[in-house]
Each structure stands twice: as C-alpha cells, then as structure tokens.
Amino acid sequence: MTSYTRSGPLVEGEWVRLTDPKGRRHNVQLVPGKEFSTKKGQLRHDDMLGQPEGIVIHSSMDHPYQVFRPLLFEYVVSMPRGAAIIYPKDAAQIIVQADIYPGARVVEAGAGSGALTSYLLRAIGPTGTLGSYELRDEFADNVLRNVHEVSGTDLPGWTLTVGDLREVVTETEIDRLILDMVDPWSCIPLAAERLTPGGIVCAYVATTTQLSRFVETVREHGGFTEPRAWETLEREWHLEGLAVRPQHSMNGHTAFLVTARRMAPGHHSMGTSRRPAPGAYGPDYTGPRPFGHDEA
C-alpha cells in the first residue's frame, strides 16, 4: 500500500508531505539515516520514522514543519511524469460527471503519467476493471511505476496495454470510456460498438477545435445523447481575520470535458430543438446540423 492509504506510524519507503508556516510544501520518501535539505536547514528522516502523521518537527535551524502522508491529489501533482497529467480539478469532474462507480468496467485511452489511472482505480474498487491503453513505451513504463507507488502491485482488475486502443482493444463490454488523446473523435465507432446502453464516453481535450470536432462527430453518429461540454476553473481564497478575498492567481483553463451517453440499439438521439445562433453554421460547414435548422 502507499503512504496516503496507510494508517499507523510512518515507516521506511513511505512518502510524507512537509509543510512550513509559509505554506511551502515538499514530498519526501522516508529512508533511515537520510536527511532532507531545505533553505531552513536539514530535516532528519529518523525524526519522522516510527511517528504518527500530524506531528511537527524542526530543522537544524529550528524551523518547524508539519508532517502528513500526502493525499492522492497532493501526490499526483508532483509525481514523476513523462506526459502531462490530468490535474485534480479535472479528474474530480471525470469521476463524478462520468459516474465512475465501484464495479464499473472502464477503459481509458492515453494513460499519460498515471494520475487519472490512480483516481479511476480508487473509484472502481476491487470489483471493477480498468483497461489502460498508452501508445508510447516510455510513458507506459512511467505509468506502471507511478500506479504501483500509489496503489500497490496487487491490482488484478487493472491491465496496461501499449498500443493504439482502436487496434488492440480487448474489452467487449464497456461501461465508461475515457479518451485523453489528440483525436478522440476517431474512437466514436469503437464507443458505439463496445459501450453498453446507457454507458458514457468522456473526452478530455485542450482546444476548441478538438472540442468542436468531437461534439459534431458524436452528433453525426446519432447513437449518443446530445453531448455536454464544460471546463472547470479553480480559485483559492485568502483567509486572514477580516481580510477574506479571492487569491490573485487561479487554476484556469486546463482542458474541456465532454460527455455523451450511448443510446440503446436501434434508437437514435433526439438531438436538440433549439435554434442555433446566426452564423453558427456557415456556408462552408459540411457537418451535421441541429434539429429544426433551416438548411436552405
């Protein structure tokens, strides 16, 4: 098991999160006899080993640090990475909006550095299955290391495959399909074939061009509900006495999320009856148009 899923005294090999009074944070893996260097002096690992989390230790320059096991979202933002990670604010939205539940059969394309994989494994629990697909060997190696650090090595419900999901997928019945890739619209035929009725496809895309093409491909297929797209912005607040205000910086745009549900066989989406904005579909547009749109 990993540092942030354990209880009891801190032991060798666990990760701890050190925080000083100014909010500076460090993730450290405990090794007997070792020291961690900061601008405020040395911190002895032996002062933490065998102790419960939630203690305060002091550096060689008498600077205090709180010691806790890192929570999952605290660990993933600093985990070794090859590809960019899906940040906690987006991972939380995927887990909730794509309704990832214990026992679900989930497939993800584009495992990246293993951040979302770690969240998905927690959400599906011991009775669910997760098939992760990654195109690049070096990224897959990193995913394997990070996931084992987070979730241990006893993961019978998890498989990691190096290859193109569209060519090597083995799962025949999928409840949730998560697409973190450059061209997720190319997986819509696969989603239509393998998703169970009521199943959800969720795409994570960075640009408006990708967002538009994915949405219009889903609409054109007709076998999914009207797509829903959104982004999540996160802003912390400064809290000091009566000086309560938003922080000047925030976690702004990282990506767009899009979800749609699979219709039952033989049934097609109702589309949308709302009238599009003027100019939404110009003379050069060749994709599908919403229900009721005058094509003349």
Positions at the binding site for S-adenosyl-L-methionine: 113-116, 134, 164, 180
CA dist 191 and 118 (Å) reads 23
Annotated binding residues, written as ranges, equal 113-116, 134, 164, 180
Other C-beta atoms closer than 10 Å to the C-beta of 268 total: 11
Q: What secondary structure, in 3-state letters, does 263-279 show?
A: CCCCCCCCCCCCCCCCC
